[in-house]
A and B are shown apart, each in its own frame.
Chain A
């Protein structure tokens, strides 16, 4: 098989980052675990947010993890796709809103 930078098996080895720096890894994983516990938001809502963010940051590991995570927490396919549309809308909007800056500059430099 062709070698790529991403290997799906590496997701399962996430914990091994502690090998090179255990203190910071332990703090991160404790924090990570706390973040995804039910709080003001349900675990399902958090999994859907994570799924949307995974697409925005284009992390294949996170997409795998939070597709399964969203299913496990009881999300349906429509909810999952809508979450991704939220990410897409924000990413698209983030590009487009800079159009105002472009327009400002046009008005500045044009006669």
Chain B
């Protein structure tokens, strides 16, 4: 499977995606505007609380081509962060006390400067999260020692595993992904990840393999723990249940299968003001591979940068100015405010 960009799909065009999100439904009525819902609950303009996470997307290159990927990542995507831009990120971090750095992609490990970057962030004493797709560990001999490398820098590994069966996982993430993911999880377990008392955090990300919403995070975590232990002797720490946002490949899937309107209706009907108050863009700044700043990774993929009066590039990073900004919202934001809420750390309402 090729990326939408390589296929020249209209869904690779962010203006097209935003247009789809704004269109009225077939019977003529439009979905209520997300901004209006925030206004109704006293949350507009949406402002940051405190910036505690710098999420850095180091590139769109990936060894997998997942059907729901909001990045449209894949082996044919060549956009990756340069070492110079990484240095700008380090400079920005050095002038702040932001405690958490969340590295994502693509497969972040495929960036040639990935290990250097992790080492430098580690020297700054920040907690590092790597969003590892698991299969990268087995993709090439040069990645086989990643579990050891992660351990050395006390990296928190957060990995997608949409389900505890091969059929549902492979449907979403590609043939053979489940078996490789299981092997990679066992390798991480073997060096201490996910093992009680090791302090090495291994968290899994569940996101629905279809046009439905995630169920209760705690209940799903219990079921995942039971099934992975029974079937494969795998242990992990937390399960993060994440809602699929209607953008990029997932939007393409929703439209092409006739699921778009029922799915949006579900998101809109499940709007939860408590989840809206806890959205991750209130404590996160997202950096794109070329250094631009965004309110979240989804806005990044929709090419919706932070508002123009805030610094828009990592070289101009200014914590106070970014903390004072108004967060840019659109209709896809319903994905983060449905039910118990959704963020890169799972549910936002307990």
Interface residues of A (CB under 8 A from B): 12, 38, 42-44, 68, 71-74, 76-77
Cβ B212 vs Cβ A44 within 8 A: no
Among B44-69, those with CB < 8 Å from A are none
Instruction: List, in ascending order, chain B residues with CB within 8 A of A44's CB.
Output: 215, 219, 223
Interface residues of B (CB under 8 A from A): 163-165, 167-168, 208, 210, 212-216, 219-220, 223-224, 265
Cβ A43 vs Cβ B212 within 8 A: no
Cβ A72 vs Cβ B163 within 8 A: no
Cβ A72 vs Cβ B208 within 8 A: yes
Please report the C-alpha to C-alpha distance between residue A42 and residue B222 in the assembled complex, in whole angstroms: 11
Q: A76-B164, A76-B165 are in contact. List 15 more A-B contacts (CB 8 A).
A: A12-B265, A38-B219, A43-B219, A44-B215, A71-B210, A72-B208, A72-B213, A72-B214, A72-B215, A73-B215, A73-B216, A73-B219, A74-B219, A74-B220, A74-B224
Give the total number of A-B pairs whose CB atoms are below 8 A apart. 34
Cβ B208 vs Cβ A42 within 8 A: no
Q: How far is the CB of A65 from chain B (nearest CB, A)?
A: 11
Please report the C-alpha to C-alpha distance between residue A44 and residue B218 in the assembled complex, in whole angstroms: 12
Instruction: List, in ascending order, chain B residues with CB within 8 A of A76's CB.
Output: 163-165, 168
Instruction: List, in ascending order, chain B residues with CB within 8 A of A74's CB.
Output: 215, 219-220, 223-224
Cβ B212 vs Cβ A68 within 8 A: yes
Please report the C-alpha to C-alpha distance between residue A16 and residue B69 in the assembled complex, in whole angstroms: 37
Which residue of chain A has the shortest Cβ distance to B227 in the bound complex?
A76
Please report the C-alpha to C-alpha distance between residue A43 and residue B210 in the assembled complex, in whole angstroms: 20
